[in-house]
Amino acid sequence: MNGKQARFDDITRLLGLLPSGVEIAMGGGDTVSYPQLEELLVWAKIRGLVMNIAVNAMHLYRHTASTSMSVLRIFSSQPSPP
């Protein structure tokens, strides 16, 4: 939003209006640095939203292995029931 990271509450309020199965494209800048990325991915997964995240591999190297692995675990685990 205007070059700034959106607030978690604002994102979930808007995405909460969408039906299950909708794909959300998330990108621009250093997506992995969003402070509540893991929480957002879990939130979206529980609601049946499909998150498509564009990541520049150079940004992945700047983050700890644990952050990158947590994101991969969220994406690779089985879908949660609604």
For residue 26, being part of any structural domain is answered with yes
For residue 31, being part of any structural domain is answered with yes
Give the number of other CB atoms < 10 A from CB of residue 41. 20
| Structure token digits, residue 61 | 């190297």
pLDDT digits (tens, 9 = 90+) for 1-57: 456 788 999 999 999 999 999 999 988 777 877 888 889 999 999 999 999 888 777
Domain count, the chain: 1
Burial class (CB in 10 A: 0-12, 13-18, 19+), 44: buried
Is there a contact between 9 and 36 (Cβ–Cβ < 8 Å)? no
**pLDDT the model gives residue 75:** 62
**pLDDT the model gives residue 48:** 94
For residue 45, being part of any structural domain is answered with yes
With vertex at residue 78, the alpha carbon angle to CA 53 and CA 29, rounded to the nearest 5 degrees, is 10
**pLDDT the model gives residue 49:** 95
Give the number of other CB atoms < 10 A from CB of residue 49. 19
Domain residue limits at 71: 22-76
For residue 12, being part of any structural domain is answered with no
pLDDT digits (tens, 9 = 90+) for 53-75: 887 777 666 665 556 566 666 66
What is the pTM assigned to this prediction? 0.69
